[in-house]
Amino acid sequence: MCHSSHRALRHRLFSCGRLLALWLCLGPATGGFAVETTVLQDVVLRNWDLDDGLPSARINAVARTSDGYLWLATQKGLVRFDGARFVTFDTSNTPGMDDDRVSCLLLDKRGDLWAGTAGGTLIKRMGAAFRAQDLGTEAPSRAVDGSSAAGKVNALAEDGQGAIWLAIEGMGLIRFHNGKTEAFSINSGLPSVDVRKVLFDGGGRLWAVADGQLCLFEGGRWRASGGLPPASQAVRTISPARDGGLWVATGTVDPLASRDLRLYKLREGQWTAQLGPYPWPQDSQQFQRLALLEDQSGRIWCATAGGVFLYTPGGSWQRLLSVALWIQVEVMCLAEDENGLLWMGTRTTGLLQVQKRQVMTLPLPAFASQHAGLTVCASRDGSVWCGTDGAGIFRWQAEQMSHFETNQGGDQFACCRAPRRPPH
């Protein structure tokens, strides 16, 4: 999505809910809002982009530190967000930032923030300062002009001993602990040095995705994890499950695209049935990049180039957004903070925030959808009345909508609530 096409949408609030609003005044007048109908429970989506102070519309990773700041990995530096203002830390203003192209983030068990870059640098936030870590001879080499001659840091993870693992594109894995580094490559059991993901799950196991294969670290070596159904599929990404297991997204990969996207769960060595049927077409070419997350309530979020989808336990898959302008938003990463807010970093649309909406919305029937609500009031019996600009009067009561037509005196309507009589 080009910047000009979504500029008008910045700071807008998008309601994704089961019901269409009759009349809504929501929050301060910092921008407009649009309403769309989906079967998803009501949420509000907010967007920040270049016009709001982001140095880059591409967000590679999101993390929130204990001081309340949200940190964003962008192509033009590490960005701090306090909810109102973006502050950029880059090579021009921050000692210790060796590379502006921040590719991934990690918040360790001590609350320290780590960042990996496209140039193979590992950066640690230490108080108000940043320091590039010395990876010794295992560090990705650089050309004389400073460009990266080896792969970027694709992912970071912390194991049970407090060591930081770096998944390096084209170089395997690096373990960094107490200032010492150790490299893991094909001779360490990895099927390939093309490692896209490394993750430490809630059960104390360290996982990696190398060349489309799921690998487990045991006894100081890596080994391929067998039993993935079906064997013809490649692993696209992994994400921790709340019960200590692992969510695994697979797809049939060809040179041009990844097709046939499926999701499985691995727990205690057992694979569950896939979470089908899926809302996305299985012959789509839109799954080259995926983001996966299980939130605090146990819902599964899956973001593809074809949209953002949500799976509710005991339910089915639902699409988050159906407005045409947002269907093709390409989400790069998903993160949930301690308040239950879901954050999405995108490739061209900046930062998105998803939160549950606190206001219930009500629909006008289809025959009156072109009319506007002029006034609304609530009755003592709990019903809600709405007067329109020519469609009559509507009453919402006991989950049902009643209509009073013009021949019943409901052409133009203004309502008010009579004051409660004082007790005698």
Greater model confidence, 33 or 270:
270
Residues 379 and 252 in one domain: no
Does residue 353 belong to any structural domain of this protein?
no
Which tokens go with 258?
A: 């990844």
Write out the DSSP string of 248-279: EEEEEE-SS-EEEEEEEEEETTEEPPP--S-S
- d(CA 247, CA 5) in angstroms, rounded, equals 35
Q: How far apart are CA 210 and CA 198, in angstroms?
A: 9
**Mean pLDDT rounded to a whole number for the chain:** 81
Whether 193 has a pLDDT exceeding 60, the answer reads yes
Residue 326 has pLDDT above 70, yes or no: no
Maximum alpha-carbon separation in the chain: 91
Q: Are strands 213-218 and 221-224 parallel, antiparallel or unpaired?
A: antiparallel
DSSP type of residue 212: T
Any domain includes 384 = yes
Q: Is residue 372 a part of any domain in this protein?
A: yes
**What single-letter amino acid sits at 203?**
G
CB within 8 A of 315, min separation 6: which ones? none
- Give the sign of the dihedral formed by CA 84, CA 88, CA 93, CA 94: positive
Do 193 and 294 fall into the same domain? Answer: yes
Amino acid at site 352: L
User: Do residues 253 and 388 both lie within one domain?
Assistant: no
Comparing CA positions, the residue from 275, 280, 281 lying closest to residue 315 is 275
pTM listed for this prediction: 0.77
189 domain residue, yes or no: yes
176 and 245, same domain (yes or no): yes
Q: Return d(Cα 90, Cα 173) in angstroms, integer.
A: 26
Is position 380 within any domain?
yes
- Domain range spanning residue 278? 49-336
Please give the pLDDT value at position 44: 78
* 7 found inside a domain: no
Other CB atoms within 10 Å distance of the CB of residue 256: 8
Domain contains 394: yes
Instruction: Count up the domains in the chain and report the number.
Output: 2
DSSP 194: B
> What letter represents residue 387's amino acid?
G
pLDDT of 124-160, one tens digit each?
998 889 999 999 877 776 533 344 445 799 999 999 9
* CATH number reported for the structural domain that contains residue 175 in this entry: 2.130.10.10
Q: Residue 56: is it exposed, middle or buried by C-beta count within 10 angstroms (0-12/13-18/19+)?
A: buried
Tell me: do 232 and 376 sit in the same domain.
no
Q: Are residues 215 and 310 in the same domain?
A: yes
